[in-house]
């Protein structure tokens, strides 16, 4: 069955409206990026370090890693809510009665989690860069702007968000309650971040090949993982709570 | 067929994305719903078993039964949400198959027992979302019409979470009307509504029927079923009876005349025994008698004449009416009592 963008967008638009009026979501979207922006910036700008210090690279790496926690963590609670939340609200059945396919439903949900995550992550990173250029020591600013830091951030932000949304929705389709789904999906969103951390801290040498390879691997998982998630989306079990 | 009705190729149908036109008076051949030996089991337990019936276009069909009888599961099956274990069905002209799932859902609507509205969204936003999910191109007009049908135009900007249960029920009904369905499944549509709102829903059902929409109504309100439904089926895991309410009464209960006289008759046995059309009689206490007759219209004049000839002062002679509730209780009441004991 071909996908209908009208139906997908209807689901996405509904989700975005719902987020906007959900105090918990607004708070998560606002506070979490703030925490992961202010703390590393203060840390980075306040400490005097020399370009030769081994702590220098680690400090910059840590600051940038904080930026990548945002796309990994922020969408996980949104996507974890996506299916089990509808089920708890009693809104899943009316939605499944429409011609909306499982893929369209899941894609609409994913898009609704992805769009604000990307916007917030890039905006926060933009603020971070602007602050670094304006307030950081020249050596720090040079280190941040040179090398592969910027494009790693730009590349991994959507990929990490994609992973996080994928596992969040997968967990949501199988969970019995929202709280469990959210806790599990936060945990499940971390493994790719750990790999990125190893690269950031030079445990794995950040050669262009390794970085691109990792990005491609994440891309492939994000792309084809949806088939597995769609297969897990069992309408009968979701509506009746059991399988015939 | 045990696969869930998930995805599948949409079969070629005469409808656009915007829903069906059958309800707009288009002549449709064949039944709106045809169910043959449909069974759904969850493990060893049968939700419903060997259910068969046919419903014509424009018919209001009542589906009655106690809690746990399988009514909602039947509706969910016909609405392609769950797959039957065995049997077959045609819904709005399409075979109930995995491949036809989306096409069937485009032609029908289900109003579930719980309204299932997005409480942080306004009434209009809720309907807008569903208009999008149906892919309706003239969404604005459809939303306006649907809200008008349930008298909610003035509440369109209210948050659903701020509405009373009755108003939410009406929003859910408006949502079910959005795609102009050929077959409308209503699961307890007047549950929680005040009498005035319930009457409005009844009027809406009547209006939908006159437009050719088939209504599949599950309800516990037997007087509602009796008033609205052309036919009813009584389900208690298996289908116990199906037919027009008066047919069910005739089939289950003997036709009787209730006779009341001013004073007890001297020899009622002798008086009633030889009368044409009277099969038997019983003393109903005091000066009242219950006569089992073949046809009340044929028997009543003869009974009246005989009573007058015998010098009795006749207070009343009337056919005793059994309600649909009597039918229901006769069919499932005893089982329910036995089940609870």
**Cα of A98 to nearest chain B Cα, Å:** 6
DSSP letters for chain A: ----HHHHHHHHHHHHHHHHT-HHHHHHHHHHHHHHHHHHHHHHHHS---TT-HHHHHHHHHHHHHHHHHHHHHHHHHHHHHTHHHHHHT-HHHHHTSS--HHHHHHHHHHHHHHHHHHHHHHHHHHHHHHHHHHS-HHHHHHHHSTTHHHHHHHHHHHHHHHHHHHHHHHHHH-SSHHHHHHHHHHHTSHHHHHHHHHHTTSS---HHHHHHHHHHHHHHHHHHHHHHHHH--HHHHHHSS--
Total Cβ atoms within 10 A of residue A204: 15
Q: Which residue has tokens 């049908």?
A: B149
| B179: chain A residues, CB-CB within 8 Å | 98
Backbone angles phi, psi at B51, to 5 degrees: -90, 130
Question: Complex ipTM above 0.85?
Answer: yes
Instruction: Name every residue whose Cβ is closer than 8 Å to that of residue B58 and which is 6 or more positions away in sequence.
Output: B32, B209, B210, B212, B213, B214
User: Per the CB < 8 Å rule, is A100 touching B133?
Assistant: yes
Q: Which pLDDT tens digit goes with each residue over B248-268?
A: 777 777 788 899 999 999 889
**Cα of B58 to nearest chain A Cα, Å:** 21
Q: Please tell me the CATH code under which domain B254-319 is placed.
A: 3.30.70
Instruction: Determine the average pLDDT of the residues in B233-252.
Output: 86
Instruction: Give percent of chain B above pLDDT 70.
Output: 89
User: Per the CB < 8 Å rule, is B135 touching A4?
Assistant: yes
Q: Which pLDDT tens digit goes with each residue over A127-171?
A: 889 988 888 888 888 888 877 778 888 888 999 999 999 999 999
Q: Which pLDDT tens digit goes with each residue over A36-93?
A: 888 777 777 766 655 556 667 777 777 888 888 889 888 998 899 999 999 999 999 9
Tokens encoding B86 = 């065995």
Task: Identify the domain containing residue A31 by its residue range.
Answer: 5-240
The domain defined by B22-247 folds into Rossmann fold (3.40.50)
Instruction: Name every residue whose Cβ is closer than 8 Å to that of residue B254 and which is 6 or more positions away in sequence.
Output: B279, B292
- State residue B255's pLDDT score: 83
Domain coordinates of chain B in residue numbers? 22-247, 254-319
Nearest chain B Cα to A8, which residue? B133
* A10–chain B Cβ distance below 8 A for any pair: yes
From A244, A100, A222, A235, select the one nearest A168 (Cα to Cα): A222
User: Per the CB < 8 Å rule, is A103 touching B10?
Assistant: no
Nearest chain A Cα to B11, which residue? A1
Instruction: Name every residue whose Cβ is closer than 8 Å to that of residue B90 and which is 6 or more positions away in sequence.
Output: B30, B31, B33, B34, B96
When divided into structural domains, chain A yields a total of: 1
- State residue A48's pLDDT score: 63
Tokens encoding B257 = 């005349």
């Amino acid at each position: 069955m071909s996908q209908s963008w009208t139906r997908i967008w209807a689901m996405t638009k509904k989700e975005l409206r719902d987020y906007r009026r959900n105090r918990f979501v607004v708070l998560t979207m606002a506070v979490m990026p703030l925490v992961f922006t202010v703390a590393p910036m203060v840390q980075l700008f306040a400490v005097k370090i020399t370009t030769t210090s081994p702590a220098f690279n680690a400090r910059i790496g840590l600051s940038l890693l904080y930026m990548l926690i945002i796309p990994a963590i922020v969408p996980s609670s949104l996507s974890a809510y996506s299916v089990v939340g509808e089920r708890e609200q009693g809104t899943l059945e009316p939605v499944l009665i429409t011609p909306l396919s499982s893929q369209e439903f899941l894609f609409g949900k994913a898009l609704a989690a992805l769009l604000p995550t990307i916007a917030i992550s890039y905006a926060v990173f933009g603020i971070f860069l602007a602050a670094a250029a304006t307030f950081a020591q020249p050596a720090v600013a040079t280190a941040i702007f040179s090398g592969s830091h910027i494009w790693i951030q730009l590349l991994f932000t959507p990929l990490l968000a994609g992973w996080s949304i994928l596992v969040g929705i997968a967990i949501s389709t199988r969970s019995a309650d929202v709280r469990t789904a959210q806790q599990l999906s936060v945990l499940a969103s971390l493994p790719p971040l750990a790999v990125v951390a190893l690269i950031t801290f030079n445990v794995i040498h950040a050669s262009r090949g390794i970085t691109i390879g990792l990005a491609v691997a994440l891309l492939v998982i994000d792309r084809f993982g949806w088939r597995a998630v769609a297969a897990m989306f069992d309408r009968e079990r979701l509506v009746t709570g059991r399988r015939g | 067929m045990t696969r869930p009705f998930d995805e599948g190729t949409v079969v070629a149908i005469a409808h656009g994305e915007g829903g069906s036109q059958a309800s707009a008076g288009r002549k449709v051949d064949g039944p709106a719903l045809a169910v043959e030996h449909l069974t759904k089991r969850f493990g060893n337990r049968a939700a419903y078993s060997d259910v068969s019936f046919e419903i014509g276009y424009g018919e209001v069909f009542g589906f009655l039964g106690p809690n746990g009888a399988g009514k909602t599961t039947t509706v969910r099956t016909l609405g392609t949400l769950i797959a039957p274990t065995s049997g077959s069905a045609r819904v709005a002209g399409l075979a109930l198959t995995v491949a036809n799932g989306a096409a069937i859902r485009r032609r029908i609507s289900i109003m579930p027992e719980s309204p299932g509205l997005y409480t942080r969204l306004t009434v209009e936003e809720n309907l807008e979302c569903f208009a999008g999910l149906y892919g309706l191109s003239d969404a604005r007009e459809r939303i306006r019409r649907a809200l008008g049908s349930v008298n909610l135009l003035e509440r369109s900007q209210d948050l659903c979470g701020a509405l009373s249960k009755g108003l939410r029920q009406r929003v859910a009904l408006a949502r079910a009307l959005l795609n102009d369905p050929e077959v409308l499944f209503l699961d307890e549509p007047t549950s929680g509504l005040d009498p005035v709102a319930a009457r409005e829903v009844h009027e809406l059902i009547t209006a939908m029927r006159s437009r050719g929409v088939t209504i599949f109504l599950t309800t516990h309100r037997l007087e509602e079923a009796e008033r609205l439904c052309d036919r009813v089926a009584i389900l208690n895991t298996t289908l116990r009876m199906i037919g027009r309410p008066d047919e069910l009464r005739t089939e289950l209960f003997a036709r009787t005349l209730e006779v009341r006289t001013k004073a007890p008759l001297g020899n009622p046995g002798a008086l009633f025994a030889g009368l044409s059309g009277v099969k038997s009689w019983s003393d109903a206490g005091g000066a009242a008698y219950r006569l089992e007759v073949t046809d009340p219209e044929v028997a009543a004049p003869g009974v009246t004449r005989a009573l007058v000839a015998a010098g009795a002062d006749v207070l009343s002679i009337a056919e005793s009416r059994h309600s649909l509730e009597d039918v229901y209780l006769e069919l499932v009441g005893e089982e329910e009592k036995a089940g609870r004991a």
